A and B are shown apart, each in its own frame.
Chain A
Amino acid sequence: MASQGLGKEQSIQEMIARSRNNKGKKFIEKLMPIILVITALISVLTTIGIVFTLIFETFEFFQRVSITDYLFGKEWLPFSGSEPLYGILPLVLGTLKVSVIAACVAVPLGIAAAIYLSEYASDKTRRTIKPILEVLAGVPTIVYGFFALTFVTPLLQELIPSLKIFNALSPGIVVGIMILPMIASLSEDAMSSVPNSIREGALALGATKLEVSIKVVLPAAISGIIASVVLAVSRAIGETMIVSLAGGATPTFDFNVTGSIQTMTAYIVQVSSGDAGYGTTIYYSIYAVGFTLFVFTLIMNLLAQYISKRFREEY
Chain B
Amino acid sequence: MKYIDDTVVMKRMKSRLKYNSLWKLIFLIATSLALLTLVILLVRIVTQGSGHLNLDFFNNFGSRFPDKAGIKAALIGSVLLMLIIAPVSMILGVGTAIYLEEYAKKSKLTSFIQMNISNLAGVPSIVFGLLGLTIFVRMLVLGKSLLAAGFTMSLLILPVIIVASQEAIRAVPKEQREASYGMGATKWQTITRVVLPAAIPGILTGTILALSRAVGETAPLVVLGIPVILQFLPDSLLSQFTTLPLQIYDWAKRPQEEFQYVASAGIIVLMILLVIMNSIAIFIRNKFQKRY
A residues in contact (CB < 8 Å) with B: 16, 19, 25, 28-29, 32-33, 35-44, 46-47, 49-50, 53-54, 57, 108-109, 112-113, 115-117, 120-121, 129, 132-133, 135-136, 138-147, 149-151, 177, 180-181, 184, 206, 208-211, 231, 234, 237-241, 244-245, 265, 268-269, 272-273, 278, 286-287, 290, 293-294, 297-298, 300-302, 305
Contacts of B147 in A (CB 8 A): none
Partner of A139, one of B41, B209, B215: B41
Contacts of A136 in B (CB 8 A): 34-35, 37-38
Residue of B nearest to A270 (CB): B222
User: Does B68 reach chain A (CB closer than 8 Å)?
Assistant: no
Provide the bound-state CA to CA distance between A135 and B212, in Å.
12
B11 to chain A, nearest CB (A): 14
A116–B31 touching, CB < 8 Å = yes
A129–B31 touching, CB < 8 Å = yes
- Decide yes or no: A241 and B119 within 8 Å by CB, A141-B216, A208-B20 being known contacts: no
Provide the bound-state CA to CA distance between A6 and B264, in Å.
68
Question: Can you pick out 22 interface pairs between chain A and chain B where the beta carbons lie within 8 Å of each other?
Answer: A32-B188, A37-B99, A37-B103, A39-B95, A40-B96, A44-B113, A44-B116, A50-B131, A54-B130, A113-B30, A113-B34, A120-B28, A143-B271, A146-B248, A150-B48, A151-B40, A184-B34, A211-B20, A245-B253, A290-B130, A293-B124, A297-B123
B230 to chain A, nearest CB (A): 15
Indicate with 1 or 0, residue by residue over B242-274, a CB within 8 angstroms of chain A CB atoms. 000100110011000000100110010011001
Contacts of B130 in A (CB 8 A): 50, 53-54, 57, 268, 286-287, 290
User: Does B158 reach chain A (CB closer than 8 Å)?
Assistant: yes
- Decide yes or no: A150 and B30 within 8 Å by CB, A29-B186, A43-B113, A265-B219 being known contacts: no
Residue of B nearest to A149 (CB): B252
Indicate with 1 or 0, residue by residue over B200-219, a CB within 8 angstroms of chain A CB atoms. 00000000010011011111
Contacts of A140 in B (CB 8 A): 215-218, 245, 270, 274
A35–B95 touching, CB < 8 Å = yes
* Of B35, B41, B92, most A-chain CB atoms within 10 Å: B41
A208–B34 touching, CB < 8 Å = no
Provide the bound-state CA to CA distance between A299 and B215, in Å.
28
Contacts of A301 in B (CB 8 A): 118-119, 122
Interface residues of B in 81-137 (CB under 8 A from A): 91-92, 95-96, 98-100, 103-104, 112-113, 116-120, 122-131, 133-135
Partner of B99, one of A40, A115, A142, A149: A40
**Overall SS of chain B's interface:** helix
User: Does B27 reach chain A (CB closer than 8 Å)?
Assistant: yes
- Decide yes or no: A211 and B124 within 8 Å by CB, A138-B212, A286-B130 being known contacts: no
Residue of A nearest to B209 (CB): A138
Residue of A nearest to B192 (CB): A32
Closest 3 CB pairs of A and B: A238-B124, A140-B216, A39-B95
User: Does B24 reach chain A (CB closer than 8 Å)?
Assistant: yes
Provide the bound-state CA to CA distance between A116 and B30, in Å.
9
Provide the bound-state CA to CA distance between A180 and B34, in Å.
8
A29–B44 touching, CB < 8 Å = no
B96–A39 touching, CB < 8 Å = yes
A132–B218 touching, CB < 8 Å = no
B30–A108 touching, CB < 8 Å = yes
Provide the bound-state CA to CA distance between A133 and B129, in Å.
28
Residue of A nearest to B263 (CB): A146
Residue of A nearest to B119 (CB): A301
